[in-house]
Structure 1
Amino acid sequence: MSTPRITVIGSALSGNKGAAAMLESAVQTLGERLGEVEFTLLSMYPEEDRAQNPYPNLEVVAADPKTLGVTINSLALAHRLLPPLRPLLRRHRAIRALAQSDALLDQGGITFTDGREKFLLYNVASILPALNLHTPVFKCAQAVGPFKNPINRIVSKVFLPKAQTLVTRGRITHEFAEGLGLTNLVAGADYAFSLEMDGTEEQGLREAGVDLDFFADGEVVGVCPSVVLQKKVEGRGDDYVGQMIAFIERLRRDGKKVLLVPHSVRTGTEKTHNNDLPLCTRINDLLVPGEDVLFVDRELSSQQLRHLIGRCDLFVASRFHAMVSSLAMAVPTLVIGWSHKYREVLEMFALEEWAFGHDQLTPEHLWSRFEDLSARRDEVQGKLDQHLPEVKRRSLAQADLIAELVTERAAARGR
């Protein structure tokens, strides 16, 4: 029997470290279940991902939006319609990977959802080549819906049933998907909850110049801003940067130390897509200088970020997977979000009251909710400790499903 092969899309190693956590969780957990397995990442940022790839069994293939939408999709359609040309078409690395793979893992964090119609074409383009090559599509735990927008509803009803499995990562998504009539559903939890650290994180952080002695004394509050949230808040005419600065300065006046940490970083660019570093740098530059603020001004690995977040006493998150990391490390967390995807994950911990939308963000409301969290931290800590094992079990369950699918597919292909 030849080595199982799996292609992955929608995640990355560089940039958004939530995407990295999902990808690395898949590599870790499926390696444990399948033994030797080869992965191909269809990457939006191939050069950056190759530079950060530590896995010898992970091939990185270019799949930026133009390459994916035009080249890969066109070649996959030709592969379906013109059988005599298939040997020639498989010379393209992406087509060859998909044709040889036992599954495509779609790790898009939120897809086919109202209000994000501009991403709908990408959502379809991500899975259509695999469908044309008859490679099963396994949509890893993600948020989908709602489906009230006619365009999104029509496209979703066409393409989501074609997936072998769609893992929903919360109650709200599951109800949206059931309401659409989908039957290929499995209730799960975000794959990043399965991420394991290898014990080298502290050494790596020190080598990267992060002052871990900062956590030796005093209460530390982690703050993770988001450029996505910034655009939404400033779109309604409010000053997001000013609000974050005011909140951090109030924390400091209250005697707390602050970890200012971007959870999505693209090194060497000022572009803000999947890049919170320029935003965090601006916030840090406008703060009163002092040793009670630790600013992470560089790209770290997903495991290093998780270790760092786990050192905090309390955490205030706007990036989704920063929230996942803080919950996975059992750190009481306040969330400022922009979709149902935040609340439905907190529901798994019976902590949904600790999320509020960007439309509610004011200096007064943020401080009030933070004070409530601080006052009730023991209660919140108890719920984290109680529910975290079950959430991790639900996360790991999708690895079992993927391994089963790959094993069955390999057997059917006569390997």
Structure 2
Amino acid sequence: MQPEAGTPAPRRPVRLTTVGAAFAANKGAASMLQAVIDKASGHLGPCEIDVLSAYPREDRAWASRAGVRMVPWPPVSMVLGYPLALLAFLARRAGLPARPFCRMRALRALHDADVVVDVSGISFADGRGFVTLVYNLLITSTSLLLGRPTVKASQALGSFRTRLNRLAARAVLPHLAAVCARGGGTERNLADLGLDNVTPAADLAFLLDLPESARQRAAAVAGAAIGDDDLTVAVMPSQVVASYCARLGVDYPDLMAKTVDALVERRQARVLLFPHAWRPSTQPSRMNDRPLCAAVYERVTARDRVTLIDADLSPHDLRALISLADLAVTSRFHGMVSALCTGTPPVVVGWSHKYREVLEPFGMDEQALSYEALSVDSLVAAIERTLAETDKMRARIAEALPAAQASSERSLERIAAALPPVPAGS
């Protein structure tokens, strides 16, 4: 049956490919990824989404539940595929087809995308090591070599004081369709590079929904740990911060355990202790807080008041768990974001500017403590001050949250603006 004359042919779905985040391991990255999946169609229309994952085995089931395609892209594939991307770039420059050089599924997903979205939480930051810098380059520049418009969704970037990091950032960032700066600190860092493609945008995880089903699952997981009259505290340690503390001779697991004991002794608190980055392995890594949480729990004296939750939870379920608490003590950035989204006052122990720049618009930058000056006394004092000002802090969060959520939409607006015209019916 032919359409009537003058009836526009249907447009095919937008092909969107994400890089820099997976469902597994770091659940902060998963929160941003899930927000893109949930909200993209509202800005772009119908979408087909490919998620390039460094954890294909763990992500296969998550992607199926989310209704997207998971495409394996572990680090070895990134490295091996880069020469092919360079050949594809040279072919494009010579006016030849580039796709024949895309011999890997991940390269084809990038080449065929209408737009590529980098949802890394932080990139091109000084002091993170050569391997991480190479990873940042591969993640962002491969799609550029293939000629695809690429947007860095809201994330922290910089500083750019070290020569190698500055050169790498200058080589890549000016060529992106947009660089979305997550806060004032990142904006100042990017201004130092003289870029003209920067858009301020709050973290994408501010747009993550909290379905009732997640609340029910969280209540079931927390179980008897939640009492009507008890102070409930969510505690989310970070192996990243633990590693930074170890360099200074600070025993972070012991410090967190003593802080938990102080909460129980002073406030008769009930504590939910859980990882915001989870992998099946029992080996600690920057993408796995599971062993760290176990180590903290083993050192706690008042274990009858502490519930250790060791499970691979979704971003929705983690946010729902945080919503059950009266206070969140976290070293994970997106644990902090979920606390803000649920009106839960956070106390944050961080390692970079990324925490404070997000807290500033809420008038709560004093809630960000640096690992460099961390002690049990300083952390407990910050917690006591927060508990004394809980109502005031909740009011600040409620007042500032709508603006943060509106700002978060700008990443999606920049993604939509980067789309090339799609021929009707193609």
Structure 2 portions without partners, runs of 5+: 1-10
How many pairs does the alignment contain? 411
Per-residue deviation at 1:88?
A: 3.3
Report the equivalent of 1:218.
230
Distance in 2 between residues matched to 1:122 and 1:204, nearest whole Å: 35
Q: Does 1:279 align with 2:289?
A: no
Find the partner of 1:116 among 105, 117, 128. 128
Per-residue deviation at 1:212?
A: 6.0
Report the equivalent of 1:232.
244
Find the partner of 1:180 among 189, 193, 199. 193
How large is the Cα RMSD of the aligned pairs? 1.9
Report the equivalent of 2:270.
257
Report the equivalent of 1:19.
29
Amino acid in the other structure paired with 1:211: G
Report the equivalent of 1:97.
109
Q: What's the CA shift string for 1:25-81, capped at 9, x where partnerless?
A: 00111023333211111111111111222446411111111111222x122112222
Report the equivalent of 1:361.
374
Find the partner of 1:306 among 319, 322, 330. 319
- Asked if 1 retains the 8 angstrom alpha-carbon contact of 2:111 and 2:148, the reply is yes
Distance in 1 between residues matched to 2:98 and 2:190, nearest whole Å: 35
Per-residue deviation at 1:168?
A: 0.2
Report the equivalent of 2:89.
80
1:4-403 alignment, distance < 5 Å: 4-55=14-65, 57-71=67-81, 73-82=82-91, 86-118=98-130, 119-205=132-218, 209-211=221-223, 214-254=226-266, 255-403=268-416
Q: What's the CA shift string for 1:146-191, capped at 9, x where partnerless?
A: 1111111122112110111000000010011011101100011000
Inter-CA distance 413–160: structure 2 relative to 1 (3 Å threshold): farther
State the identity %.
Answer: 34
Amino acid in the other structure paired with 1:345: V
- Asked if 1 retains the 8 angstrom alpha-carbon contact of 2:225 and 2:270, the reply is no
Inter-CA distance 372–21: structure 2 relative to 1 (3 Å threshold): same
Amino acid in the other structure paired with 1:20: A
Structure 2 counterpart SS, 1:200: helix
Distance in 2 between residues matched to 1:404 and 1:114, nearest whole Å: 30
Amino acid in the other structure paired with 1:76: A
Distance in 1 between residues matched to 2:149 and 2:277, nearest whole Å: 30
Distance in 1 between residues matched to 2:304 and 2:114, nearest whole Å: 52
Structure 1 portions without partners, runs of 5+: none
Distance in 2 between residues matched to 1:398 and 1:77, nearest whole Å: 28
- Asked if 1 retains the 8 angstrom alpha-carbon contact of 2:20 and 2:118, the reply is yes
- Asked if 1 retains the 8 angstrom alpha-carbon contact of 2:284 and 2:290, the reply is no
- Asked if 2 retains the 8 angstrom alpha-carbon contact of 1:9 and 1:108, the reply is yes
Q: What's the CA shift string for 1:292-328, capped at 9, x where partnerless?
A: 2121111111000001101111111101111111111
- Asked if 1 retains the 8 angstrom alpha-carbon contact of 2:225 and 2:306, the reply is no
Per-residue deviation at 1:215?
A: 4.1
Per-residue deviation at 1:290?
A: 4.1
Inter-CA distance 62–275: structure 2 relative to 1 (3 Å threshold): same
State TM-score, norm by structure 1.
0.94
Amino acid in the other structure paired with 1:411: V
Report the equivalent of 2:8.
none
Inter-CA distance 357–213: structure 2 relative to 1 (3 Å threshold): closer
Distance in 1 between residues matched to 2:241 and 2:394, nearest whole Å: 26
Distance in 2 between residues matched to 1:161 and 1:413, nearest whole Å: 31
Find the partner of 1:411 among 396, 407, 422. 422
